[in-house]
Structure 1
Amino acid sequence: MNKLHERAAPNGAVQSFPKPTLRDATKDDGDAMAQLINFAGEGLPAYLWQDMIEGNETVWDVGRRRAQRDEGGFSYRNTTLACIGDDVVGSLVGYAQPNTPEPFDPADVPAMFVPMIELENLAPGSWYINVLAVFPEFRNRGVGSELIARAERNARQAGKLTVSIIASDGNPGAVRLYQRHGYTQIASRRIVKDDWKNPGENWVLLIKEI
């Protein structure tokens, strides 16, 4: 029998949901990974993938192709999936940040990326949560909390003392989730949007000591 998560419904009744199981991603999970990173990035990944289309590809073909790479931050090798039954319902992508940030010249980097790189460089040596996302229909069931707990276990196993994550202040639900789990906002940078549509104004860096 599956373990259950319990949540209070608006009428005060207790709702029970199956506890997700966690597993390592494989290349066959590229489609789900592409959708979930786009949710985590609030549409920014798909916006960026438009410029990477080759031939008759769609943006989702690009996302799948990038998820199936053996290298790079957004790779199946760095990904844990949350499943309920046979359905993928959420994903976690995380990895260790270098102890010494690599220097970069903002003039050599697309303007949209500069604020995020600056924030990442404020958390050297941390375990970085690059993606934490749950499909909308499975939110508020404890899936995000399970993935955060896995990220922190991964960080401890890697000998890291802190976990970091960057979120948009246009997604206050995500920010509140991290804060409930002990993450503290330590810095922010103005979002550079170009033609990307997003209600947020700032990227915020949150860190937790573990």
Structure 2
Amino acid sequence: MIRKATKEDTKAIAQLMVAAMEDLAKQFTATENIAEAFKLFEYFCGQTQNQYSFENTLVYLVDNEIAGSITIYDGALIENLRRPFFDYIQKNYHTNPFEMELESGPGELYIDTLSVNPYYQGRGIGQQLISAAIEWAKTRGHQKVGLLVDQDNPNAKRLYERLGFVKENDRLLLGKPHEHLTYSLID
């Protein structure tokens, strides 16, 4: 079953987010300490009006356990949604200015993070979460759904392409090459 996340889901969602981001989560905290990254994401997932908020997340439940999550938001809001997060990491973790390229923009529902607990992988949960995001986008008038996929993750790219996503362009994310894939909602 898929449902909108609640604040009570914060801990499980944060674990999934950090697992999905891997090294990127550690870059945000300027440390190799994954526990520190988890604390950061647990905090922001439990807050409102930021890109990692439970407000922007759908969860997939198996026997009342969160087996997967997808965090999505209007690409037009990315700068406003990321500002609290970036201000916080700049103040608490980075001595030099921390900047990151924009991942999305207007007209696009952006899939920021998608993660499935390894125990539940291979059961179509990721595909169902993506389908739910596409339906969410349709009901809110978006022209497309977009995401970034690491060029070093061909398995994820194949999944997205199988679901109808196509490469729109290449983008850098903290200096690492990614492909911007989109799913068109325009007939």
| TM-score class, shorter | 0.7 to 0.9
Letter in 2 for 1:209: S
Structure (1/2) with the larger helix percentage: 2
More displaced stretch, 41-50 vs 30-39: 41-50
Q: Who is 1:60 aligned against?
A: 38
Whole-Å separation in 1 of the counterparts to 2:169 and 2:97: 21
Decide which of 8, 14, 28 is 2:8's aligned counterpart: 28
Whole-Å separation in 1 of the counterparts to 2:172 and 2:26: 21
How far does the alpha carbon of each residue in 1:93-119 deviate from its partner, in whole angstroms, 9 at most, with x for none?
A: 1111229x89xxxxx9635x22xx1x4
Unaligned runs of 5+ in 1: 1-20, 103-107, 194-200
Q: Percent identity?
A: 26
CA contact (8 A) 1:97 1:127 kept: yes
How does the TM-score come out when normalised to structure 1?
A: 0.71
Q: Who is 1:145 aligned against?
A: 127
CA contact (8 A) 2:13 2:45 kept: yes
CA contact (8 A) 1:186 1:207 kept: yes
2:158 counterpart of 1:183:
no
How far does the alpha carbon of each residue in 1:112-142 deviate from its partner, in whole angstroms, 9 at most, with x for none?
A: x22xx1x424xx3111111111111211110
Residues 19-168 of structure 1: matches in 2 within 5 Å? 21-50=1-30, 58-98=36-76, 110-111=98-99, 113-114=100-101, 117=102, 119-121=103-105, 124-168=106-150
Q: How many angstroms does 1:42 deviate by? A: 2.8
CA contact (8 A) 1:46 1:60 kept: no
Letter in 2 for 1:34: A
2:182 counterpart of 1:207:
yes
How does the TM-score come out when normalised to structure 2?
A: 0.79
State which structure, 1 or 2, has the greater radius of gyration over its C-alpha atoms.
1
Letter in 1 for 2:104: E
Aligned pairs, number: 167
Whole-Å separation in 1 of the counterparts to 2:123 and 2:171: 31
CA RMSD of aligned residues (A): 2.5
